[in-house]
Amino acid sequence: MTEEIALLPPASVSREIARRLSPYVREKIPTARQIEYENDGWVLDKQLKSQVWMRKLKRQEIAFEDQVWAMCARLGFESLSRDRLLSISYGKSDNETKQIDVLAADDDVVLVIECKSSAAEQAPTHAFKTEIESIQGYRAGLIGTIRAQFPNHKVRFVFATNNINVSKDTLERIGNAEISYLDEEAISYYHELANHLGSAAKFQLLGNLFQGQQIAAMDASVPAIQGRMGGLTYFSFAIEPERLLKIAYVLHRNNANLRWMPTYQRIIKKSRLKKVSQFVEDGGFFPNSLVVNIDNGGKKLKFDRSEKQSGTTTLGILHLPRKYRSAYVIDGQHRLYGFAHSDRAATELVPVVAFVDLPGEKQLELFMQINENQQAVPKNLQNTLNADLLWTSPDKKKQAHALKLKIAQLLGEQKSSPLRGRVIMGEEQANDRKCISLDAIQRGIDRGRFIGEFTAAGPKKFGSFYRTSNDDTCTPLAEFLELCFGYLRDEIPKQWNIGRGEGGFVFTNAGTEGLLRLIGDVVDHLRDQGRLEPRDATPQEVFAQVRGLLEHAVAYIVGLTVDEAAEFRGWLGSGGPTKYLRKFQAAIHTAVPVFEPEGLAEWTTDQAKQFNADSYSMAHAIEAHLNADIRQRLEDKFGSDWYKLGVPKKVYQDAQSRAAEKQYEAAPGVKIDWWDCLYLINYREVLVHGNMTLWNELYNDAYTLPSDKKASSWKDKSGWMIQLNDIRNKISHNGTVTEEEYEFLHAMHSHFGLASSS
């Protein structure tokens, strides 16, 4: 007797979707048991006469299984497991049965889905070795039981995981075992796609799960014209949307698609799709062609030429691949999916221009050309695309650029990466915490010299981590940088846990680029010291060495005052990351003097003189003020004899001598005044010439600083001029003005009410 698989009646599917998507489990119980349930964590949901509805949050593993089940239902699988206790036999013995989390079937395929979920704060890593081996053991028997109820169906086993990190090696092991893999982001993606496309989104899922497999009973032949356009061969034909939908796919760049091929389409807009669908239902049609790329594995499509030929075009019958996910829609996704729920999908014809096995670069170029007069493609999305499409470019410089962008992507997407959720991917919107662009990470990797310098023909200079190819370099470098940022996250929790608007400055574009460049400096330093060879060592071994120097930069960041942190946040624009870098480099150099990256010494010297320019301006202004003000006071007091009664004879004679020398060298008509030939210190000699009565009458109020009002001697009240003269001399001889001296000048500048120097 054939085993009957317990399925949910089709009429109950719609109601069950709502229950599965609810975060709560609900139960109706007698009112007398309400307290018992409340003690077990349930809460009152609805009061009835003699009964109550109680609800409780689902356990996370059950909630995830329900999400997977609901995804299948919303995508149009009509035969679905009744509950999570479904058990199917795979052998003759009573104990040879397998509990199935989710089973979903339509007219052509059956999905057997095993769900794994983790509630850990940090996604754990699982290899699923036991689970894969177990499936291999019961696969054949289980397929036999399933096909007894679903004859001629393709059966696909699927791992669905939630909050679990799956390594590249594990993904390959899963694929080699002919098992498909979906994580929670893929599940969310298909729910989102179902919001826009309804059950038509199922073709996207099937294209992923059954890529390259034959579609049964599909007529794949169409009358077509073969021609040349822009140096490329193309086919032009008309086809029913129903047929094209089966082989077409439109992937969208998001975390769910990071393992798939180039995904540069924008998500299908529900509002636009509704308008297109209504347009179709009202009898509308689209005269412009869809543009697709046929993936045929490098083989020529079968094209039966007719005898008729016109110029460079040839008529014939084109045989499209009868395979899932073989026609990539470059342009026209809304036009195609507008037919998804229309009866006209089987009878209308849509025009198509199809290229075959178009390289990724050409696909992107074509996409950009088509969209150049439409909505601009944002820079961050372009970077996302280039990471995919330039990976195998014959231009080695473009390949290296793709490698930097791919590592930036992985840092933003992989569950193992600390920066996951902090990096803006594709067309995502930035927010207070998700504020790091792919461009900033790419620049940091580039300027950190991890990859090296390349021309179109090949490498000019290998970077510290470059291991002869993109494939060999990508994983080790990404893992190493994950370790570095994991350390930074753990050691700088204050910065990690706040966004830009709350004072965050480390995990921003400027901070992230600066840190990546610093890490590159540390790696180069350790390599130059002969302490490691990054290309031969494991990421863990390199990080163990790097951490010892990186901790000095961490200590510096942790120790910053509020005002110092605010200074970092003010460093905007293209020069900001370099300022971050120099501060971080200097922190390590202070602790480890032999660490001196290129340019740090010059920057340190420049930084030491950062106050010189403003100090020069302020000292010059103060000196000019003294020159005019003191003379005016003396002239007002003594008249024409002011210089005899108010200026020391020696000061007058020396100034006259200098004036005579300058007059001799002066241009015709230029008159040199001896008063303008005083040195700065001479003004103090003028101030203290005479007695206290004269000082009090002419100078005390204007030239006594608030801090000097209680000075023991009237002559001491002008002592500040000695300090002013010392700073003036330092500036004149290219010395370095300290911050304290700068503040002194600023105070004097303000005291005399002079205009701001900024």
Q: What is the pLDDT of residues 221-242, one digit of tens each?
A: 999 999 988 788 899 999 988 8
- The rounded mean pLDDT for the chain is 87
Query: Which has the higher per-residue pLDDT, 190 or 157?
Result: 157
Alpha carbons 540 and 530: distance in angstroms, whole number: 17
Q: Is residue 119 assigned to a domain?
A: yes
pLDDT at 277 over 90: no
Alpha carbons 732 and 725: distance in angstroms, whole number: 10
Whether residues 181 and 254 share a domain: the answer is no
* Weakest-pLDDT range from 201-215, 428-442, 618-632, 692-706: 201-215
- Residue pointed to by tokens 């195609």: 336
Q: Is residue 47 assigned to a domain?
A: no
pLDDT at 392 over 90: no
Specify the pLDDT at position 366.
75
Q: Is residue 510 assigned to a domain?
A: yes
Interval 161-190 mean pLDDT:
90
Total structural domains in the chain?
4
Interval 450-468 mean pLDDT:
93
Whether residues 616 and 599 share a domain: the answer is no
Q: Is residue 5 assigned to a domain?
A: no
Please state the φ and ψ torsions of residue 181, each to the nearest 5 degrees.
-130, 130
Tens of pLDDT, residue by residue over 361-391, are 777 677 766 655 445 556 666 776 677 667 8
pLDDT at 560 over 80: yes
Q: Is residue 4 assigned to a domain?
A: no
**What is the domain extent for residue 672?**
612-751
541 touches 481 (CB < 8 A): no
Whether residues 221 and 358 share a domain: the answer is yes
CATH number of the domain bearing residue 161: 3.40.1350.10
Specify the pLDDT at position 281.
61
Task: Specify which residues 98 forms β-bridges with.
Answer: 88
Whether residues 557 and 642 share a domain: the answer is no
Query: Which has the higher per-residue pLDDT, 310 or 267?
Result: 310
Calculate what percentage of the chain has a pLDDT beyond 70.
Answer: 90
Domain boundary among 347, 374, 401: 374
Neighbour tally for 209: CB within 10 Å: 20
Interval 676-684 mean pLDDT:
94
Tens of pLDDT, residue by residue over 309-358, are 766 788 999 999 988 888 888 887 777 877 766 677 778 888 999 999 88
Interval 717-743 mean pLDDT:
86
Whether residues 553 and 676 share a domain: the answer is no
pLDDT at 617 over 70: yes
Angle at alpha carbon of residue 350, lines to 344 and 354, rounded to 5°:
145
517 touches 448 (CB < 8 A): yes
Half-sphere exposure of 597 (CA within 13 A, CB side): 24
Domain boundary among 204, 223, 252: 204
pLDDT at 601 over 90: no
Domain boundary among 173, 204, 235: 204
Whether residues 649 and 697 share a domain: the answer is yes
434 touches 440 (CB < 8 A): no
Q: Is residue 81 assigned to a domain?
A: yes
Specify the pLDDT at position 368.
66
Alpha carbons 145 and 138: distance in angstroms, whole number: 11
Whether residues 160 and 277 share a domain: the answer is no
Specify the pLDDT at position 755.
64
325 touches 207 (CB < 8 A): yes
Whether residues 273 and 305 share a domain: the answer is yes
Alpha carbons 293 and 329: distance in angstroms, whole number: 7
Q: Is residue 639 assigned to a domain?
A: yes
Whether residues 577 and 624 share a domain: the answer is no
Whether residues 281 and 174 share a domain: the answer is no
Whether residues 82 and 143 share a domain: the answer is yes
Q: Is residue 1 assigned to a domain?
A: no
Calculate what percentage of the chain has a pLDDT beyond 90.
Answer: 56
Whether residues 540 and 682 share a domain: the answer is no
Specify the pLDDT at position 626.
94
Specify the pLDDT at position 204.
82
Interval 553-570 mean pLDDT:
91
Per-position DSSP letters for 689-726, written without gaps between them: SS-HHHHHHHTHHHH--GGGTT-SSGGGGGTHHHHHHH
Specify the pLDDT at position 275.
60
